[in-house]
């Protein structure tokens, strides 16, 4: 009898503690073969009804997606040479399968007939959206191509997947290969205690067993919890420059360079767009987004840039003037690597606010408790920890169950909170283990309940202290929780439209950015922030400072985001990857948008994983697009009064029932207007950012 494969043979939750890289190839080979056979059987005599066809298609997609999803998740959080090898071996087969599925002419013809048939009027909204989404995806996957064009499209798709993975791996390798070893007190002058503790702990993990926060040695890495405090607090300008340059030149030189990879990715995307009849890849990408057109996105980004520009110029001028008043030599030749340090000094003086004064009030357990309480208040859900009840991939991972107001189970999620630069990719993200579905329900159950992953890269516990979070890390946690809520609180039972399924990509940030607003709500902040030793609540004077500092340097930060969005949009809409220079586009957009010029060797795009190895190609604008909607949505609560408990709960339930609940069953703008009662406006965002009164 053969040994069960833990990647395949799991029912409710994978046995992460048993999965090995060696399981991947055999698991995916078997699953893909079964799915190919199931697809072939359907194509021989395609059912002509929803009930006959769509559940069978969902079963095929779910079977492949959930098992490959586990592999992809482990590739992100437990990266290793062995896992990379098998991932890269299987990935082309996955691409081939999905091309085969999406390019199935028999299935396309049946769904076309459904849409054009007399029974179409009897389909509900979700069914119509699913059929229309499948038809659109099929067209964008090349179902209309024949012969050489189809072969070329499929070849390009495999190559794109391969290059995107390589881009991500190069970035991870470049990030973890850098370390700055500091050995003298003068080299760590200015660093807060938490940063010294983390740097010493990093040194211990890298073989310096004698390292202490007091005496060193200390190691700074490009991992966010290490690098960011260093740039904000180190008094050594030369070392700040060294670290800053390392960040913005990552993966731009040598055998791990992403320069040519980025160009090749753009070339292949443009080729795919042209094969499908689009003028540019941006046109292709926007054909399945809310924004709809390059012009609409460009108008939004330029509108935001125009509003932010004078504020951004004032922000930088204020910082330079502040540095001059403190007789800083760099004030006469201010550089980008000076910005974070002097912005932090100005913030400390202007608001009397320091990160390390706040950290003790934001231990992770307290933050989670406060976050779960606001979710209960708004959405009527109860979240209970069940860590230890299921296998996990690392001892630090926590597990939670979600219940409704009656105590019935709704969903579950894993939380992987801490940075592990040796094996876990940077940034923060939500991902999906399984989605809500009546088709995939176990025997005796009406529906399968959704399970999410929440992944962050915040400061880990140091010594006997819990993870003490910066306010920025608290913001990130609330952001990812918003994504998880949209996946978990859907009430759509069709798996192909539940949660984030079938949702336009520039709508997926609405819930996440909406949740960020609550960390600036005084009662929420007061209830959440308690000192990890004394349990003393965060004093009111700190809360006053946090609220006052919310719009600090908002113009500069808005320009930074529009810079990224315009750069992405330009590369995918007005750039010839055959003859053009990505670096020239970067420099041009930067000069038009940012107040502080960068340095000549800045190749930040070699680390721009959002657009080169993520899902934001010609879609980075989604953050600002959705921020307009999220600010406008929170405006409904402000108008009702945040202290009006009845109104807040009523609006919270409406938000849950519409934006969180309806998934991809309706167009996002229709859903938004169901919540808000009108279309969104940009006004709330400009007020929130302090760009207008």
If DSSP states are collapsed to H, E and C, what string results for 679-690? Answer: CCCCHHHHHHCC
- Between helix 622-640 and helix 554-573 the angle, nearest 10°, is 140
Active site residues: 480
Please write the tens of the pLDDT for every residue from 303-360: 999 999 999 999 999 999 999 999 999 999 999 999 999 999 999 999 998 888 999 9
Cβ–Cβ under 8 Å, residues 261 and 163: yes
Write the DSSP string, 362-399.
Answer: -BHHHHHHHHHHHHHHHH--EEEE-TTSS--SSTT-EE
- E-assigned strands of 419-472? 429-434, 451-458
- The two structure tokens encoding residue 264: 């090749």
Write the DSSP string, 605-621.
Answer: GGG-HHHHTSS-TTTTT
For the entire predicted model, the pTM comes to 0.93
Alpha carbons 325 and 318: distance in angstroms, whole number: 11
Residue 671's contacts (CB-CB under 8 Å, 6 or more residues apart) are: 658, 659, 662
- The two structure tokens encoding residue 239: 């070392």
Cβ–Cβ under 8 Å, residues 402 and 410: yes
**Looking at residue 45, what DSSP letter applies?**
S
Model pLDDT, residue 218: 98
Residue 170's contacts (CB-CB under 8 Å, 6 or more residues apart) are: 251, 256, 257, 258, 261
Residue 693 has pLDDT above 80, yes or no: no
**Percent helix / strand / coil, the chain, rounded to 5:** 60, 5, 35
Please write the tens of the pLDDT for every residue from 150-162: 999 999 999 999 9
Please write the tens of the pLDDT for every residue from 75-121: 999 999 999 999 999 999 999 999 999 999 999 999 999 999 999 99
Model pLDDT, residue 685: 87
- The two structure tokens encoding residue 370: 């406060």
Write the DSSP string, 330-359.
Answer: GGGG--HHHHHHHHHHHHHHHH---HHHHG
Alpha carbons 471 and 169: distance in angstroms, whole number: 29
Which stretch of DSSP H or E encloses residue 218? Answer: strand 218-220
| Residue of 410, 415, 417, 427 whose CA lies nearest to 487 | 410
Report the percentage of the chain scoring pLDDT > 90. Answer: 93
Residue 292's contacts (CB-CB under 8 Å, 6 or more residues apart) are: 286
Model pLDDT, residue 1: 47
- The two structure tokens encoding residue 240: 């700040």
**Looking at residue 660, what DSSP letter applies?**
I
* Biggest CA pair distance of the chain: 80
Model pLDDT, residue 2: 63
Residue 615 has pLDDT above 70, yes or no: yes
Alpha carbons 106 and 103: distance in angstroms, whole number: 9
Residue 41 has pLDDT above 50, yes or no: yes
Domains assigned to the chain: 22-102+104-140 (1.20.1050), 178-249 (no CATH), 255-353+553-620 (1.10.1370.10), 359-548 (1.10.1370.40)
Please write the tens of the pLDDT for every residue from 439-450: 999 999 999 999
Average pLDDT of the chain?
Answer: 95
Query: Band of the pLDDT at 140, cuts 50, 70, 90?
Result: very high
């Amino acid at each position: 009898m053969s040994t069960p494969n833990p990647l395949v043979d799991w029912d409710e939750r994978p046995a992460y503690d048993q999965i090995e890289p060696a399981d991947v190839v055999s698991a995916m080979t078997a699953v893909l073969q079964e799915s190919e056979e199931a697809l072939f059987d359907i194509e021989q005599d395609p059912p002509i009804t929803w009930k006959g066809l769509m559940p069978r298609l969902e079963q095929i997609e779910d079977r492949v997606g959930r098992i490959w999803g586990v592999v992809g998740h482990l590739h992100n959080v437990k990266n290793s040479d062995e896992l990379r090898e098998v991932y890269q071996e299987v990935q082309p087969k996955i691409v081939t399968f999905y091309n085969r599925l999406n390019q199935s002419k028999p299935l396309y013809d049946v769904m076309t007939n459904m849409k054009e048939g007399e029974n179409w009027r009897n389909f509900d909204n979700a069914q119509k959206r699913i059929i229309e989404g499948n038809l659109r995806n099929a067209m964008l996957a090349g179902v209309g191509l024949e012969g050489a064009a189809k072969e070329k499209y499929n070849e390009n798709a495999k190559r794109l997947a391969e290059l995107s993975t390589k881009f991500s791996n190069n970035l991870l390798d470049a990030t973890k290969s850098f370390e700055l070893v500091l050995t003298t007190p003068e080299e760590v002058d200015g660093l807060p205690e938490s940063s010294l503790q983390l740097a010493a702990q990093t040194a211990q993990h890298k073989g310096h067993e004698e390292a202490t926060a007091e005496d060193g040695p200390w190691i700074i890495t490009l991992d966010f919890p290490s690098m960011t405090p260093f740039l904000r607090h180190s008094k050594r300008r030369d070392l700040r420059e060294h670290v800053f340059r390392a960040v913005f030149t990552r993966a731009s030189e040598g055998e791990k360079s992403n320069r040519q990879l980025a160009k090749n990715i753009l070339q292949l995307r443009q080729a795919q767009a042209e094969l499908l009849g689009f003028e540019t890849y941006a046109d292709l990408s926007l054909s399945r987004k809310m924004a709809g057109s390059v012009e609409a996105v460009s108008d939004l980004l330029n509108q935001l840039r125009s509003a932010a520009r004078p504020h951004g110029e004032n922000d930088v001028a204020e910082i330079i003037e502040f540095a001059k008043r403190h007789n800083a030599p760099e004030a006469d030749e201010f550089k980008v690597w000076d910005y974070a340090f002097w912005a932090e000094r100005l913030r400390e003086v202007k608001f009397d606010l320091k990160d390390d004064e706040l950290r003790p009030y934001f231990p992770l357990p307290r933050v989670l408790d406060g976050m779960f309480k606001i979710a209960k208040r708004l959405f009527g859900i109860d979240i209970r920890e069940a860590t230890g009840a299921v296998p996990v991939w690392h001892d630090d991972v926590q597990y939670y169950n979600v219940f409704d107001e009656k105590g019935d189970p709704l969903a579950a999620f894993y939380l992987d909170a801490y940075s592990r630069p040796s094996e876990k990719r940077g940034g923060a993200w939500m991902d999906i283990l399984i989605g809500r579905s009546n088709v995939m329900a176990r025997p005796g159950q009406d529906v399968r309940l959704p399970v999410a992953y929440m992944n962050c890269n915040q400061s880990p516990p140091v010594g006997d202290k819990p993870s003490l979070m910066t306010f920025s890390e608290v913001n990130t946690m609330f952001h990812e929780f918003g994504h998880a809520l949209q996946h978990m609180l859907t009430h759509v039972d069709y798996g192909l439209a539940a949660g984030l399924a079938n949702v336009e990509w520039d709508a997926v940030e609405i819930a996440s950015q909406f949740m960020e607003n609550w960390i600036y709500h005084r009662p929420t902040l007061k209830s959440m922030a308690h000192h990890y030793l004394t349990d003393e609540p965060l004093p009111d004077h700190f809360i006053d400072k946090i609220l006052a500092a919310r719009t600090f340097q908002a113009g500069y930060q808005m320009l930074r985001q529009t810079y990224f969005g315009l750069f992405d949009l330009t590369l995918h809409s007005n750039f010839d990857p055959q003859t053009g220079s990505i670096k020239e586009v970067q420099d041009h957009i930067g000069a038009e948008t940012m107040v502080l010029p960068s340095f000549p060797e800045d190749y930040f795009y070699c680390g721009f994983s959002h657009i080169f190895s993520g899902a934001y190609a010609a879609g980075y604008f989604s953050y600002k697009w959705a921020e307009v909607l999220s600010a406008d949505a929170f405006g409904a609560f402000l108008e009702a009064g945040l202290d009006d408990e009845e109104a807040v709960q009523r609006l919270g339930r409406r938000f849950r029932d519409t934006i969180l609940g309806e998934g991809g069953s309706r167009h996002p703008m229709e859903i938004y207007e169901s919540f808000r009662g009108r279309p969104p406006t940009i006004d709330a965002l400009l007020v929130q950012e302090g760009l207008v009164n």
